[in-house]
Amino acid sequence: MYNEKVLKIFENPKNAGLLKGANGVGKVGNMQCGDVMKVYVLVEHDKIKDAKFKTFGCVSAIASSDVACEMIKGKHLDDALKVTNKDVMEALGGLPPQKVHCSVLAQEAIEAAITDYKKSTEKKKK
């Protein structure tokens, strides 16, 4: 069902866990399958210095979270927001059709974390 790359990432995710000093957190979930993703970002000078995740879900959800975090590290916020679920799936070498929603959740979690960061910085400016 899963390709070798997806299984390898699932077994050894590089970006799993809490992120000390995170200044943006995005939490998303899918009620139908039960997957829940939480992405933490550390932003400095509008660039993502680091990203981590905690995911409750299947192989695809964990692999998608890990790859998405890796993809946004070092990117300007605007560029990180351009990362799509298709980019995540491509980086994974594909997902089974019934698991595409996991890559969508990863994209949504990134967007939510960046939105959270922007909201918190706007409040500090006031």
Per-residue pLDDT of the chain (126 residues; tens, 9 = 90+): 899 999 999 999 999 999 999 999 999 998 788 899 999 999 999 999 999 999 999 999 999 999 999 999 999 999 999 999 999 999 999 999 999 999 999 999 999 999 999 998 887 766
102 noted as active-site residue: yes
* 58 labelled catalytic: no
Residue bearing tokens 């000390």: 20
Is this model's pTM higher than 0.75 or not? yes
What topology is assigned to 4-121 in CATH? Sufe protein. Chain: A (3.90.1010)
Please tell me the distance from the alpha carbon of residue 106 to that of residue 124, in angstroms, as a whole number.
Answer: 27
DSSP E strands in the chain: the ranges are: 24-29, 36-44, 47-56
Among candidate residues 85, 99, 76, 69, the one with its CA nearest the CA of residue 2: 99
Q: How far apart are CA 79 and CA 48, in angstroms?
A: 10
Q: Kindly name the residue from 6, 41, 51, 102 that is annotated as catalytic.
A: 102
CA distance 72 to 41: 9
The structural domains of the chain, with segments of one domain joined by +, span: 4-121
